[in-house]
Chains A and B, each alone.
Chain A
């Protein structure tokens, strides 16, 4: 039988094979980094809101507690967003002429809710519960960052599974006393293990899949 391939083809095959392998590795690397990049986790993005509400002014400047507006945070899964009535409890008297607040006044007059855009959004197959965290010593700051320095709300943490697990494997570092949950810039607790016992946190169950996927 005559030779089909010229001996030189051997070299070419090697180059092609090596090139192919390199391409696969490069593709995997790009996919790996893209998956964790702020582009796909939504970290840092600032969606446009109907009213440019500033946490910096209301939380940092006026010192209003998160729970004045996010009332559900310590009693349900969902933190809740303030209704128009809540804004108007102050803005019925303050900044009543401001153009910026026109949508809020219209919303009250026409009995039509404001449409805030979601900043954080976990996939629907993930179960998350604010109450479980907030009543067991995890402060808002651990997950939402320095909210009191945000003129406009953005997502501070990547909110990937890796990120959740980093804390669930080792929650001691993040624990705070119960009166410091909504505080910003609070110093770390002096004796985290005492807090761990006080909140009766069972670290053995926190990394099971069924905790977050149920």
Chain B
């Protein structure tokens, strides 16, 4: 049986500052080595200053993943030399001297499959190395410490996944969860990285390091299973080893480094006192947490009678569910949900399109209300939405500019109806004997008005005309 376990590194990108200093957690907007200070470069005499907000957010993640949380957490030093590590040790957490990591055992459902979480730890990201030069002779390594000290949460799972597909489903759920918590933007480059361990029946465990995105994680596990199965089928032994993911060639490569043999000499970080997270603090944090995705979904179904599948899509994506929360009322909720899931999602299906989109909750509310009051048809609403996303103009202005308003003037509509009656004598006779066929005539009116005739009014007038 295939077994896959994950170690996911997730930056808390939405925090203001780094884990131990006041440099920006959002290092991406800075020039090289411009987002640094004596603390995150580890200058002599500097001391870490724990970002309490990071502790809160990481605890929220632990709670959301149903993890146990200890009353007191501690930080440890992981000692090893590497040029991207300014202090030549990383401040991290571990559980070998008792449960002192920010999150202990937990679990999350992925469809019908329960995935167990081993632990969650809060730690600092190292800096970034940039390599220049073409051959090993003129290769130079440059160090950029802008990222050094960025708050990172490491989520370790049990080897519970049985297929890359399960991995992908889990990652989707995890991304949505992190985004819903408001702790991280999983779409940012480098915000999510992972290591995976993969084994197949009869083979040893293989670690894959350095997978730079969730997208590649699925690919890497898939590649690795195929590789191992092919070895197995030829009776070649699968050895226990560490491999690296080559994201250019999309393959895993045996790693020559002896990383697994390093002795990190873990010991308590004395510069950061133990942090108490007792039940009182935990309860307070719970009350500050945004509503969970599953609870949102339930509410959408039970309160607004929105179909389960629509509610599912709507609740799991923070961008859409935020729009929904801000725009809907008791009466228009279903309509808003409908606009978002059938029309809007198609219009802004990429990160770039979302960022460029000008739509606001007010737009959505106006649209839904206008459809419900008959001011605009569903068809026209679609066109209006397109224009809103593009320009951000108000709905009434767009209706005017694009002439999208319904024809609800009785005399105007009556004129059109009379014209249709004279043009369609056969259909008129049919409708008189069989009222169900009247829809054909309504359709003709719609054709003539390019879909803008108020459907209710049209039906009423037609019925009167036909006696």
Whether A associates with B in a native complex is: no
